Amino acid sequence: MTDLPHYPLYIAGEFCEGSTGARMETTNPATGEAWASFACAAPGDVERAVAAARAALEDPAWRDMTQTARGRMLSRLADLIADNADTLGRLETTDSGKLLTETAAQTGYVADYYRYYAGLADKIEGAVLPIDKPDMHVFTKRVPIGVVAAVVPWNAQMFLTATKLGPALAAGCTVVLKASELAPVPMLEFARLIHEAGFPPGVVSVITGDAENCAIPLTRHPDVDRIAFTGGPDAARHVVRNSADNFAVTTLELGGKSPILVFEDADIDSAVNGLIAGNFGASGQSCVAGSRALVQRGIVDEVIARVTDRARDIRIGDPLASDTHVGPLCTRAQIERIVATLATAQDQGATIHTGGAPVDRPGNYMAPTLVQCTSPDTATLKTEMFGPVMSILPFDTEEDAIALANDSLYGLGSGVFTQNLARAHRVSNRLRAGICWINTYRAISPIAPFGGFGQSGYGREAGMEAIHDYTRTRTTWINTSDAPMANPFVMR
């Protein structure tokens, strides 16, 4: 381990080892070999990070900084991210297996999220109330909610951090950022940019470690006022239980089994591109993966044929190579889950048209897979596998399509492909999903809220409303009369 590059924690403005000296190795999913080590936080380190965040809230260097100055600091961070996008992208690719072409581009675009919230920092306004009592001037002000525990997974971590850190810092909060122990290196390197941007000590700390020693002590800490969590439903249930100890305001951005509805009048080329992007883009490792392809019966054979042809032409390989389409999955456990789910689906009568097995090469590679299902209860239509698996199920009518789309515990993303504008409005209005893409898929923007329904979580990230979620409203009453306050025991 001593020969590997090593990444420390970042607590209270300092780079440091964990209090127990514990370290872990992280594995390159493309090779299956350890490539770096990182420090692991223990409960004492969590305590130190939260204490520093609490102290920073009252430190004049942050507390008294104008909202405009906070915006300038976020802009400086955005510039540093843009300047270091290739470096951060390469680290993320090496650590998680995501394609470099995607990680570098996404990191560069993430800078715009910080610029967006930099611009909103001095637009957080209160109001003067037309109160119904004479001689009273009453106004409201939005104040920082306090210490934020931001928990992000290994996939799309720069993006998922920006949707939490950007609005939190713009609102004047302080943040303890917990990175996934599966692939934390990009976030630990990101801490260097936070430090360089000049945020006062304790305003942002970056830690990582296992659930017992890091995530649980953080999310149940009595000084944490807000929890922003992205991950799976099982972990989220623990987070919600932990928040009962501190009554922290909690938002959850969880997984999904997003439907993509393709109607007979759709542009087939566009629809197939949407299905490919929604399922094989990012190697299927996306919470909004459109893994339930619902295709109108009259065109289902054509769609299957086209997707099968395209899937067989996908280049699987080194995620650092510019011509690779699909790289490895982050963990071996994902492949094991996919293989088991595919076996169950086949027992249920499903047909695999292409793929269906791991790729015979070092690393965690899974062949892009197309499954034709005969029942909405097929395992691949119910289980989030977090890999390049597309399940196709035919439908007959618009009503059938809507019913099948909404037949899920999840409700994050959705897609509709049709050239009928009236149908697009009708269908999107009835889909139980937080996001609906029409004739496109996986588009994002700092301006557009992101979040879901059901077991896809609650709360929204990005957009104007997100910044308000990191504030509380304070109401101030001022008696403007020169007369003394009335005797409270004399009613008039």
Return the active site residues: 253
**DSSP E strand stretches across 83-209:** 127-129, 136-144, 147-151, 174-179, 204-208
Residue located via tokens 């929204």: 460
Beta pairing class for 292-296 and 389-395 = parallel
Side chain identity at residue 62, one-letter code: W
CB atoms within 10 A of CB 443: 9
Residue 465: name the closest of 453, 484, 450 by CA. Answer: 450
- What does the alpha-carbon distance between residue 198 and residue 75 come to, in Å, rounded to a whole number? 11
- What does the alpha-carbon distance between residue 79 and residue 85 come to, in Å, rounded to a whole number? 10
176, 152 contact by CB (below 8 A): no
Tokens for 3?
A: 């020969």
CB atoms within 10 A of CB 422: 8
Find residue 474's DSSP bridge partners. 141
Describe the chain by its helix, strand, coil percentages, rounded to 5.
40, 20, 35
> Which contiguous run of DSSP H or E holds residue 191?
helix 185-197
The end-to-end CA distance of the chain, in Å, is: 79
307, 275 contact by CB (below 8 A): yes
- What does the alpha-carbon distance between residue 272 and residue 268 come to, in Å, rounded to a whole number? 6
Inter-CA distances, 209 with 71, 223, 226, 282, 285, Å: 31, 20, 20, 25, 22
Secondary structure (3-state) at 457: strand
